[in-house]
Amino acid sequence: MTQEHTADTETTAVAQDRLGPGIRRGPAWLKGPAWFGRWRPGMWRRGVVLAAFAVVLTLLMALHSHIPDRVGNLGSLAETFLPWFGVFLPIILVLALMRRSATALVALVLPVAVWLNLFGGLVVSKESPGGDFTVATHNVDADNPDPAGTAADLTRSGADVVALEEVTPAALPAYEKGLAGTYKYHAVEGTVGLWSKYPMSGTRAVDIRIGWKRAMRSTISTPHGDVAVYVAHLPSVRVKLHAGFTANQRDKSAYALGKAIAKERQHRVVLLGDLNGTMNDRSLTAVTSQLRSTQGAAGDGYGFSWPASFPMARIDQIMVRGVGPRSSWTLPRTGSDHRPIAARVEL
């Protein structure tokens, strides 16, 4: 055996000792990028807690209807802000990358898939051309410092029909004066009102079991036929530490409103108002099971309407039956704590 061959054999033996028995050092292209070398040691063992959180988040979103309402109406509370569960997704992603955890990254696929299934359709615009009837609704806020300015803003919306909620006796004259030039017909029942460019008939209050008038209906005679328009302002909800999500009165009113709509004989129905709940909230099922949300069917984005300073939820709704939604949008902020919303439908 030559001296050179002996040296080569010793070098190979040293390399095998460093890599482990039976392992050969492969070509350079098999090593992968430099960052992979830093990830590889323990990348499947790190980030187990992050992965577990991703799984819990997945279950909360996928099974939100099973979150019990018996304690503090937690189910309804979660469903009100359900789209915001998506905020945790980029946080998990960043932490998984910082931890160099392949386990957390793989687990993240689950909540991303569920969130996209629930809300991905709202990210893209579903607006379509056409439509011959435009409606708008606005909780004008009982403490609105500028009702005249709010009325002027609403006249610029181009709506054929405008519904108002939280109309106080003191502010009513300002709304009547500001809207009179555009809307020839109007009616007010308690704290809700309806202004229309077309004749109104069959106007009456709707009992939503709250003790005073906060809902009404009227038949609007449009050039394309009659439409039953409902205006409703369901009771407010609160989040309290000692009582949870206090929504029991809202839920009872929603059930009463649903019963009234179920008895409606008009084929075309439009519901406008502040329902103090989102389309995901199971407690509004008496209403949402009968009507279609214009935002979900023809909206552009989430259409959040409350609070006006930083909208986090769409609790103001335009819902329809027997008509085709074409577009739905949020109007600019007024003096209210809500933002007005509008929709165009095909009669």
pLDDT, averaged across the chain: 88
Please indicate, yes or no, whether residues 79 and 212 belong to a single structural domain of this protein: no
Q: Among 92, 123, 154, identify where a domain stops.
A: 123
pLDDT at 31 over 60: no
Of 16-30, 247-261, 262-276, the one with minimum mean pLDDT is 16-30
Which pLDDT does position 36 carry in this prediction? 53
- 3-state SS class at 91: helix
Please indicate, yes or no, whether residues 286 and 139 belong to a single structural domain of this protein: yes
Please indicate, yes or no, whether residues 105 and 138 belong to a single structural domain of this protein: no
Residue 12 within any structural domain of the chain:
no
Which pLDDT does position 120 carry in this prediction? 86
Selected residue with higher pLDDT from 69 and 38: 69
Q: Mean pLDDT, to the nearest integer, of 8-26?
A: 48
Which pLDDT does position 243 carry in this prediction? 47
Residue 281 within any structural domain of the chain:
yes
190 phi and psi angles, rounded to 5 deg: 65, -120
Residue 17 within any structural domain of the chain:
no
Residue 87 within any structural domain of the chain:
yes
Please indicate, yes or no, whether residues 64 and 141 belong to a single structural domain of this protein: no
Residue 84 within any structural domain of the chain:
yes
Q: Is 0.85 surpassed by the pTM of this model?
A: no
Of 171-180, 229-238, 267-276, the one with minimum mean pLDDT is 229-238
In the structure, what pLDDT confidence band is assigned to residue 264 with cuts at 50, 70 and 90? Answer: very high
Please indicate, yes or no, whether residues 202 and 280 belong to a single structural domain of this protein: yes
pLDDT at 84 over 60: yes
Kindly tell me the sign of the dihedral angle through the C-alpha atoms of 276, 282, 283, 285: positive
Please indicate, yes or no, whether residues 181 and 251 belong to a single structural domain of this protein: yes
- Express each pLDDT in 150-190 by its tens digit: 999 999 999 999 999 999 999 999 999 999 999 999 999 99
Which pLDDT does position 51 carry in this prediction? 95
Which pLDDT does position 123 carry in this prediction? 80
Please indicate, yes or no, whether residues 159 and 103 belong to a single structural domain of this protein: no
Please indicate, yes or no, whether residues 183 and 319 belong to a single structural domain of this protein: yes
Q: Among 123, 146, 161, identify where a domain stops.
A: 123
Which pLDDT does position 204 carry in this prediction? 98
The CATH code of the domain that includes 173 is 3.60.10.10
Question: Are the beta carbons of 232 and 206 closer than 8 angstroms?
Answer: yes
Please indicate, yes or no, whether residues 237 and 339 belong to a single structural domain of this protein: yes
pLDDT at 88 over 90: yes
DSSP 309-325: TS--B--EEEEEESSEE
Residue 18 within any structural domain of the chain:
no
Please indicate, yes or no, whether residues 253 and 150 belong to a single structural domain of this protein: yes
Residue 37 within any structural domain of the chain:
yes
Q: Mean pLDDT, to the nearest integer, of 56-64?
A: 94
pLDDT at 297 over 70: yes
pLDDT at 245 over 90: no
Which pLDDT does position 34 carry in this prediction? 59
Amino acid at position 115, single letter: W
- 3-state SS class at 171: coil
pLDDT at 1 over 70: no
Residue 128 within any structural domain of the chain:
no
Which pLDDT does position 77 carry in this prediction? 81
Angstrom distance (rounded) from CA 42 to CA 23 = 20
Q: Mean pLDDT, to the nearest integer, of 7-22?
A: 48
Number of structural domains found in the chain: 2
Please indicate, yes or no, whether residues 188 and 312 belong to a single structural domain of this protein: yes
- Residue 148's domain comprises 133-346
Q: Mean pLDDT, to the nearest integer, of 296-314?
A: 93
Which pLDDT does position 215 carry in this prediction? 98
Please indicate, yes or no, whether residues 96 and 213 belong to a single structural domain of this protein: no
Q: Among 102, 123, 144, identify where a domain stops.
A: 123
pLDDT at 97 over 70: yes
- Express each pLDDT in 111-127 by its tens digit: 999 999 999 888 888 99
Please give the torsion angle defined by the CA atoms of residues 65, 116, 323 and 266, in that order, rounded to the nearest 10 degrees: 0
Angstrom distance (rounded) from CA 196 to CA 200 = 7
pLDDT at 241 over 70: no
Helix-strand-coil percent breakdown of the chain, rounded to 5?
40, 25, 35
